[in-house]
Amino acid sequence: MHDPQTGLGLHIPPVDLAIIVVYLVGITTAGLWSVRKVKMTGSAYFLAGRSLRWPVVGAALFAANISSIHLVGLAASGYKEGFVWGNFEWMAVFTLILLSLVFAPFYFRTRIATLPEYLERRYNAAARTILAVMAILAALLIHIGMSMYAGAMVFKEFFGLDVTTSIVIIALITAVYTVLGGLRAVMITETIQSVLLIGSAITVTTFAILALPGAGIHSLTEFKAALKPDQLSMLLPAGRGDGLGWLPFVLGFPVLGIWYWCTDQTIVQRVLGAGSENDAQKGALFAGLLKVLPVFILVFPGVCGYVLFKDKIGADANQTLPVLINTLVPTGIKGLIAAGLLASLMSAIAAASNSCATLVAVDIVRWVKPATSDHAQVVIGRIAAVAVMLLAMAWSTQGGRYSSIFEAINAIAAFIAPPITTCFLWGVFWKRGTTPAAIATLVAGALMGIAGFLVDFPVVGKIKLLTTACGIPMLMQAWWGFVICSTIYFVTSCCTAAPPPEKIQGLTWNSPLEVIFHGKLRGWSDPRVLGGLLLALMVVLYVVFR
């Protein structure tokens, strides 16, 4: 087949094409079927009626996070630098433990529908509105826009489809069950897609390992000898010029991680839809356990790609996953993997679209007009989801301005995260934090983030003033942004009147130790025990792969 518009050959075997079409039809039908008997109230549309059990919550958290950005980007990063990029996955485990033990109890007990609603209760309505706008912007720029671009790149490489055409098709298919079915449809499809995604990644990894003997690799020693230095190491020297040393990860990643995993509506909405506090906490921990996998099934195939195809891939690391699939995977299975890529892409876009619908309807419209009916909120949410999708489609065409897709999402997050992480973290742990401090921090942090984004966005060529000219890696940008925002927060709090005790009742911990020592342990199934076991697993993994 040949596409006269692009001049590219459409090399889609009929069997693979049939599998992809069946998947697209099937996943859309599953999403709509799951809500066929559900009355679309606001609670049902935005929070799945608060009925989700922990396995669904955990799987949906994982699926909402893992997208084609990760499949393509982590394979490319494994090819270029190695396991070190897996820190973005493994360090997420620590912040998911924080979500489970520190934040989820407050979110669930207060019965909030959105994360901005928590800020309203802790501070005031203005804080809620500011955060809602910032969250919508993050969803548009990162979750939807960059995911669309990543998916378009995959389809271009595999099937020769025009980038714009791919973006339109992806957006339309995902919008059908997301806009009509709400969170329950999104979560049900995400659970299905998690299975397909993990299966696809394991399949590619297996074929890559089986191909190693054909390249003369018969032992771990021979495999390591064929790699770059430290390509299998998670922890690199602190002062590396590329910002991938252990110190930037220790300082900068928690700023991004707490924002993303503990305060971002797109992610945490799955926890808010849990049927019980226990389901909310265990779901977050289950997602943390799943986050161990990407290093082995997403980054490691890229490392194998370096050994097998470095002459073919050359300097274009983003070709790693397409080359692995096109070269090693047989017809039929290739179609399933392409469906897996679609699954990851659609999960990320669907999650962000539904969260934007919730933010607009609940945090902005209902705040401006409290008398808005339940039905009207659902209609407004659907319109908002479509509008954000259209804006994200336009923004997604700018993805090529970054050297890699994975770098793009983290670079943008480094400007958005600091003020939000500051207000949530200190708001939960420091009772003295005041409303003026939160407003000052959010406004100053947002303005600082916008300025940083504009000076570091590679409008002309690939020059980034902060990253390249000033030599401040993106993780350190996040860290210093957090330091500045925390300074604003603490100084302003100390200069303004403390909040009344009744204002913050049930919204803060008395001390960090209370997170662990409140109440009796309820056996091995207690989230604190499970969180401790997960923490111990991560320590062991870091010792082994240091």
φ and ψ at residue 532, rounded to 5 degrees: -65, -40
Alpha-carbon torsion (485, 491, 496, 499), positive or negative: positive
Can you give the pLDDT at residue 330? 85
Q: What is the dihedral of CA 253, 259, 261, 262, to 10 degrees?
A: 130
User: Per the domain annotation, does 6 fall within a domain?
Assistant: no
What three-state secondary structure class fits 291? Answer: coil
CA 275 – CA 289 distance, rounded (Å): 20
Can you give the pLDDT at residue 95? 96
Can you give the pLDDT at residue 136? 84
Q: How many CA atoms lie within 13 A of 274 on its CB side?
A: 29
User: Per the domain annotation, does 1 fall within a domain?
Assistant: no
The residue ranges of the chain whose pLDDT is under 50 are 1-10, 35-36, 38-49, 177, 180-183
CATH code where residue 417 lies: 1.20.1730.10
Can you give the pLDDT at residue 347? 62
User: Per the domain annotation, does 466 fall within a domain?
Assistant: yes
User: Per the domain annotation, does 385 fall within a domain?
Assistant: yes
Biggest CA–CA distance in the chain, Å, is 71
User: Per the domain annotation, does 407 fall within a domain?
Assistant: yes
Alpha helices in 212-243 (DSSP H): 220-225
Can you give the pLDDT at residue 178? 52
Can you give the pLDDT at residue 348? 65
User: Per the domain annotation, does 9 fall within a domain?
Assistant: no
What range defines the domain where residue 141 resides?
14-544
CA 522 – CA 528 distance, rounded (Å): 9
Can you give the pLDDT at residue 460? 53
Q: What angle do CA 394, 395, 396 make, to 5 degrees?
A: 95
Can you give the pLDDT at residue 182? 44
Residue 431 is encoded by which pair of tokens? Answer: 């009772």
CA 257 – CA 321 distance, rounded (Å): 26
What percent of the residues of the chain are helix, what percent strand, and what percent coil, each to the nearest 5? Answer: 75, 0, 20
User: Per the domain annotation, does 3 fall within a domain?
Assistant: no
Q: How many domains does the chain have?
A: 1
Phi-psi region of 213 (alpha: psi -120 to 50; beta: other; left: phi over 0): alpha
Do 16 and 24 form a contact (C-beta atoms < 8 A)?
A: no
Residue 523 is encoded by which pair of tokens? Answer: 């056996």
CA 229 – CA 467 distance, rounded (Å): 25
User: Per the domain annotation, does 54 fall within a domain?
Assistant: yes
CA 546 – CA 215 distance, rounded (Å): 27
